[in-house]
Structure 1
Amino acid sequence: MTQPPDDQQPKPDEPTYPAYPTYPGATPDGGYPPPPAYGSPQHNPYGGWPPPQGFPVQQSGFASWIERVGAFILDSLPGIAISFIATAIFGEPIRVIENGDTVSFETSGSAIVAVYGLGLLWGIFNFIYLQGKTGQTIGKMALGIAVYRAGTTQPIGFGLAIGRYFARFLDVIPCYLGLLWPLWDNEKRTFADMICGTRVYKIR
């Protein structure tokens, strides 16, 4: 009976260790795989969720002109309500007698400050803070649309929200042409969207 060579016989002083499973992508000799080329898509061999890309919302096309108009109307209602309430509280009542006895309110002094001040606060909250942070105003939330940077799902941020708010004045200067432009534009853009690089998407 032949004996195995001495170098192949287990030595009593050397403990034996169990073999550990290799990780996915390991080379046959147990080494590490070469790193992927720069710019190549990364693969997660262990599965799991991919890392988030921007705001975690999926787009489903551009918002229609009707949806945008509907969102604008809904956004305007709180401002109108604030104006009426502030006028009724801070305005000075004037009795007008014309085919009957009626009472109207005059906005002057503190009433003007209250009306415009509250309206300004609402505009800052709704169109700059809320839209800059989430991509949606109150009206956009109700109709399931949002404004993001073009080709992304990232909110536009406060700085761009301010710029887009003032760029909207360009939509109304040429006979409201900018507001009507989404009717025939492939990406449903207004002039403000073109200037600021934003798009309004459906998100539900």
Structure 2
Amino acid sequence: MQRRFGNLDDVWPAGFARRLGAMVYDSFLVAAIWILVAGLHLTIGRQLLGISAERVGDGPFWVLSLQLLLLLSAFAFFAFFWTRGGVTLGMQAWRLRVQTPDGRSITLAQAAVRFVVACLSIAAFGLGYLWILFDAERRSWSDIASGTRVVALPKPAK
């Protein structure tokens, strides 16, 4: 169920620098998750399946299964936070939120589109995010493709 956010008059389109800051924060969290996933992958291969240390990671099955697990764990991280409250931990630190244009939390389908296009944007040497500098509404390729917006939130009242 989509959640409706309040104070929509107090938000504005997020700029490139803030988004980059949030991406750096979130990349550290995703790296930590990836370390755990890789450790579990290794443990399953060694302990449960009894494969020797030299053979774990050898062959296309091990490589592809680890890559798939890493991709799925990164998507799970972002989709969980984006669909629940619109903010990852990095976005919260930089006071950013992803939402629909009418101020609702995004759906799982929108999160999937955002994630895929974000990966493509980064693979294209970051051009999808540099697009923010040229778009009148400060949208990245993932915003445009998924029909979402990243907005900056005001400082909380003291």
- CA shift, 1:190, in A, is 0.8
Alignment coverage as a number of residue pairs = 138
Contact 2:16 2:133 in 1 (8 A): yes
Structure 1 residue 177 and structure 2 residue 127: aligned? yes
The one-letter amino acid paired with 2:147 is G
Task: Look up the match of 2:50.
Answer: none
CA RMSD in angstroms comes to 3.2
The one-letter amino acid paired with 2:117 is A
Contact 1:171 1:178 in 2 (8 A): yes
The one-letter amino acid paired with 1:108 is G
- CA shift, 1:163, in A, is 1.5
Query: Looking at CA atoms only, which structure, 1 or 2, has the larger radius of gyration?
Result: 1
Structure 1 residue 137 and structure 2 residue 74: aligned? no
Contact 2:129 2:140 in 1 (8 A): yes
In the aligned structure 1, how far is the partner of 2:113 from the partner of 2:146?
A: 7
Q: Which moved more, 1:183-192 or 1:62-71?
A: 183-192
Structure 1 residue 196 and structure 2 residue 154: aligned? no
- CA shift, 1:68, in A, is 0.5
- CA shift, 1:178, in A, is 1.4
In the aligned structure 2, how far is the partner of 1:177 from the partner of 1:115?
A: 24
Contact 1:135 1:156 in 2 (8 A): yes
Using the aligned pairs only, state the percent identity. 25
Greater strand content: 1
Task: Look up the match of 1:123.
Answer: 75
* Unaligned residue ranges in structure 1 (runs of 5+): 1-52, 93-104
In the aligned structure 2, how far is the partner of 1:106 from the partner of 1:116?
A: 19
* Unaligned residue ranges in structure 2 (runs of 5+): 46-53
Contact 1:170 1:191 in 2 (8 A): no
Do the aligned partners of residues 80 and 111 (structure 1) sit closer, same or farther apart at CA in structure 2, a change above 3 Å counting?
farther
- CA shift, 1:122, in A, is 4.3
In the aligned structure 1, how far is the partner of 2:91 from the partner of 2:129?
A: 16
Contact 2:87 2:96 in 1 (8 A): yes
In the aligned structure 1, how far is the partner of 2:39 from the partner of 2:4?
A: 45
TM-score (norm 1): 0.55
- CA shift, 1:169, in A, is 3.5
In the aligned structure 2, how far is the partner of 1:84 from the partner of 1:196?
A: 29
Structure 1 residue 79 and structure 2 residue 33: aligned? no
- CA shift, 1:175, in A, is 3.9
Task: Look up the match of 1:164.
Answer: 114
Structure 1 residue 108 and structure 2 residue 57: aligned? yes
- CA shift, 1:130, in A, is 1.7
